[in-house]
Amino acid sequence: MDGDESLHPMLGEDKETTEEEEELKWRVGSSSSLWKETCGELKMLWYLAGPAILTSIFQYSLSSVTETMVGHIGTVELAAVGVQNLVIAGIGFGVMLGMGSALETLCGQAFGAGDFNMLGIYLQRSWIILLTTAFFLSFFYIFSTPILKILGTSDSIAEMAGRFSIYMLPELYAYAINFPIQKFLQAQSKVMVMTWISAGALVLHLFLSWLCIVKLGLGIVGAAITLDVSWVFLAVGQLYYIMGGGCKDTWTGFSWLAFSNLAEFLWLSLSSAVMLCLEYWSLMQVLLFAGLLKNPEIEVGASSICLNVDGWIYMIPVGFLAAISVRVSNELGAGRPKAAKFSVLVVVILSMIIQTTCAVIILLTRYDFPVIFTDNELVKKRVSKISVFLCLSILIGGIQPVFSGVAVGAGWQTTVAYINIGCYYLVGLTSAFLMGLRFGLGLEGVWGGLLLGMLLQTIILLIITLKTDWEGQVSCVGKRKNLELGWFVE
The string of pLDDT tens digits covering residues 221-245 is 888 899 999 999 999 999 999 988 8
Cβ count within 10 A of residue 64: 17
In a domain, residue 90? The reply is yes
In a domain, residue 349? The reply is yes
Helix axes 89-100, 102-112, angle to 10 degrees: 20
**Got the DSSP string for 83-116?**
HIIIIIHHHHHHHHHHHHTHHHHHHHHHHHTT-T
Contact 443/299 with Cβ under 8 angstroms?
yes
Cβ count within 10 A of residue 182: 26
Integer angstrom CA distances of residue 76 from 61, 158, 285, 389, 427: 21, 10, 19, 24, 32
Helix (H, G, I), strand (E, B) or coil at 218: coil
What is the per-residue pLDDT for 279?
67
Cα–Cα distance, 44 to 40 (Å, whole number):
6
What is the per-residue pLDDT for 16?
43
Cα–Cα distance, 306 to 6 (Å, whole number):
41
Phi, psi at 464, each rounded to 5°: -60, -45
In a domain, residue 46? The reply is yes
Integer angstrom CA distances of residue 387 from 362, 368, 369, 447: 8, 11, 10, 11
| Spatial CA neighbour of 336 closest among 37, 26, 47 | 26
In a domain, residue 350? The reply is yes
Number of domains in the chain: 1
Helix (H, G, I), strand (E, B) or coil at 468: coil
What is the per-residue pLDDT for 479?
54
Cα–Cα distance, 331 to 307 (Å, whole number):
35
Helix (H, G, I), strand (E, B) or coil at 373: coil
Contact 83/161 with Cβ under 8 angstroms?
yes
Cα–Cα distance, 46 to 133 (Å, whole number):
33
Domain that holds residue 452: 38-483
Cα–Cα distance, 183 to 75 (Å, whole number):
37
| Spatial CA neighbour of 118 closest among 3, 245, 255 | 255
Instruction: Give pLDDT tens digits for 172-220.
Output: 999 999 988 988 888 787 888 989 999 999 999 999 988 988 888 888 8
| Spatial CA neighbour of 7 closest among 251, 184, 183, 190 | 190
In a domain, residue 19? The reply is no
How would you classify residue 17: left for phi > 0, otherwise alpha for psi between -120 and 50, otherwise beta?
A: beta
Contact 201/230 with Cβ under 8 angstroms?
yes
In a domain, residue 31? The reply is no
What is the per-residue pLDDT for 486?
44
What is the per-residue pLDDT for 12?
39
Cα–Cα distance, 55 to 350 (Å, whole number):
19
Alpha helices (H) along 29-74? 34-71
In a domain, residue 172? The reply is yes
| Spatial CA neighbour of 182 closest among 195, 200, 201, 199 | 195
Task: Collect the ranges in the chain with pLDDT lower than 50.
Answer: 1-21, 23-24, 26-31, 483-490
In a domain, residue 8? The reply is no
CA trace torsion 453, 152, 313, 237 (10° rounding)? 120
| Spatial CA neighbour of 437 closest among 448, 421, 424 | 448
Integer angstrom CA distances of residue 78 from 149, 231, 302, 412: 17, 21, 10, 38
Contact 113/43 with Cβ under 8 angstroms?
no
Task: Give pTM, 2 decimals.
Answer: 0.68
Cβ count within 10 A of residue 356: 14
Residues with Cβ within 8 Å of residue 366, at least 6 apart in sequence? 383, 384, 387
| Spatial CA neighbour of 186 closest among 68, 82, 331, 323 | 323
What is the per-residue pLDDT for 6?
41
Cα–Cα distance, 259 to 272 (Å, whole number):
20
Cα–Cα distance, 73 to 214 (Å, whole number):
9
Cα–Cα distance, 88 to 145 (Å, whole number):
10
